[in-house]
Structure 1
Amino acid sequence: MLKLSRFLPSRWRVARNEQARNFLLRKATKIKDTFWLSAFSSQHGISTSGPDLVANGNFSGRRFAQYTIFKGKAALSVSPKLPSFCIMDSGSSRVDRKGGVMLTFWPAVGQRKYDWQKKQVFALSPTEVGSLISLGPDESCEFLHDPSMKSSLEGQVKKSLSVTPLGNSSGYFLNLNVVNTVQKTNERFSLPVTKAEFAVMRTALSYVLPHIMGWDQVIGPRLPNIPQNTPRQRREVLPDPDFEWGR
């Protein structure tokens, strides 16, 4: 049989190779479809977007994931923000911009509807993350932020986030107040967080803490630099409340 294959016409061999290539492409497409279906179904309780895929099927290198809580008056999304590093003259790298945990609030505008354009973001530092992790069932805490601190715009925008117990160790109440003296606005976001929801937040915050500090890059294995494709324009991934309200 091997001897006969040597005398087959070259056109037949080319056609056979083309069929094999098309078969592998169809398999690859099914793999991508399976990946997207699994990422889509994982949004039940946790709103997750898998790695972006470019036209040739390669990863673009960026991943987006957040834990979202939907309540009657507001929605809350929790997501990590990793630090950025810069290269020093010695060839070593150090943290250039610190990481944190982003709390994003959206107001409710109707039953199971939220205004995705009127969001407010509160960035937690590693120390503030530690305050939430160590918070007792009957304890409370408050954080005050001025995004323009130590600049000429200091005092124009003030943000305050308070976390207070609901009582009977059933959870916490989160209140965000944003005062803008320039626009003369005062926005308030309030939502209760159950004991189970806060347990998810506490566990996630404990896991992500060394990552937002950059310590995982210091003590973890160092991977070689792999050239990536040109980054595509970032697309904001909005949480879908239907998964939470439909349970």
Structure 2
Amino acid sequence: MLQLQFSSSQTLNLKLCPCNSLSNSKHCTFTYISSTANFFNIKKNKLSVKCRQSEYYEQKSFPFSPNDSTVGSQSSTEVSVGTLPPKVYVGHSIYKGKAVLTVEPRAPEFVSLDSGAFKLSKEGFVLLQFAPAASLRQYDWSRKQVFSLSVTEIGTLVGLGARESCEFFHDPFKGRSEEGKVRKVLKVEPLPDGSGHFFNLSVQNKLINLNESIYIPITRAEYTVLVSAFNYILPYLLGWHAYANSIKPDDTSHANNTNPRYGGDHEWNR
């Protein structure tokens, strides 16, 4: 709100002028009728007011939505500058005497279709990073080993009982010429007293003649925190949040008919 004070002791309240723009060079002309003028002789004073960009206009950013035309063709994170809030990095670390475990989510990726829609091209995952201790409260991150948990493997950990164990095997070069030269095995086993689980990552890398094994005990409380985080992030790793954000009230119930994977034979239409 802009206020102008005149010698007639009256205050004229002017709302943000309609011709205001992001440029400070625009001018607006207002006409003020003096209160001292009589009915037959109205004196008009023209005032030139320079309009500046107002704090009433806020630059707002919105989270990614698949119907955003500025989204890149490869990933949901490839968006024009200014359309997304600043990138945020999160993680959770568990420090123990012999090792540290850091857990970080990684976003899914989308590709654009000719129709203008977007399709999930790669599910997200959770990255586990293990680093052995170098000394008291010091960890050797140069020797860290990583293991990427898929959504299915995350589901296995979420449903793991207090006395149950599981094992995951990864070959980063599977299907390529280096297949079998790097072997990663993650074992999650219950502690003897049932108070938590052991996380043990073994890495055999024949390419650099490396044989590393890092293990860390995870208490029941710490494991509960991990499970809670996994449950929360799973729909996002699947990209379902993007689909939910794209739903509009005017969407028809037969919107999926355009996708050959679904066809028109819906159970609820029978």
Q: Shorter-chain TM-score: which interval?
A: 0.5 to 0.7
Letter in 2 for 1:85: F
Shift of 1:61: 2.3
The answer to whether structure 1 residue 2 and structure 2 residue 5 are counterparts is yes
Consecutive unaligned residues in structure 1, runs of 5 or more: 7-23, 25-57, 224-247
1-structure distance, mates of 2:193, 2:141 = 33
Aligned residues: 174
CA RMSD of aligned residues (A): 2.3
Show the counterpart of 1:194. 219
One-letter identity of the residue aligned with 2:191: L
Partner of 2:99: 74
TM-score (norm 2): 0.60
Greater Cα shift, 201-210 or 211-220? 211-220
Alignment of 1:127-138 (within 5 A): 127-138=152-163
Match of 2:88 in 1: 63
Residue of structure 2 in register with 1:113 after alignment: 138
- Give 3-state SS (helix, strand or coil) of 2:175's partner: coil
- Which of residues 158, 179, 189 is equivalent to 1:164? 189
Q: Does 1:150 align with 2:175?
A: yes
Match of 2:47 in 1: none
The structure with the larger Rg is: 2
Range with bigger deviation, 91-100 or 64-73: 91-100
Per the TM alignment, residue 213 of structure 1 is displaced from its structure 2 partner at its CA by 0.9
* SS of alignment partner, residue 131 of structure 1: helix
Task: Tell me if the contact between 1:138 and 1:167 (Cα under 8 Å) persists in the aligned partners.
Answer: no
**Structure 2, unaligned runs of 5 or more:** 11-54, 56-82, 249-270
Return the TM-score normalized by structure 1.
0.66
Percent pairwise identity: 42
1:6-35 deviation per Cα after TM superposition (whole angstroms, max 9, x unaligned) = 9xxxxxxxxxxxxxxxxx9xxxxxxxxxxx
Return closer, same or farther for 1:59/1:212 CA change in 2, 3 Å cut-off: closer
> Secondary structure at 1:117's aligned position in 2?
helix
Which whole-Å CA distance do the structure 2 matches of 1:207 and 1:177 have between them?
A: 28
Deviation per CA, 1:164-212: give whole Å up to 9, x if none: 0003330000000010011111011111000000000001001111111
Higher RCO, Cα 8 Å, sep 6+: 1
* Counterpart-to-counterpart distance in 1, 2:217 and 2:224: 13
Q: Which one has a larger percent helix, Structure 1 or Structure 2? A: 1
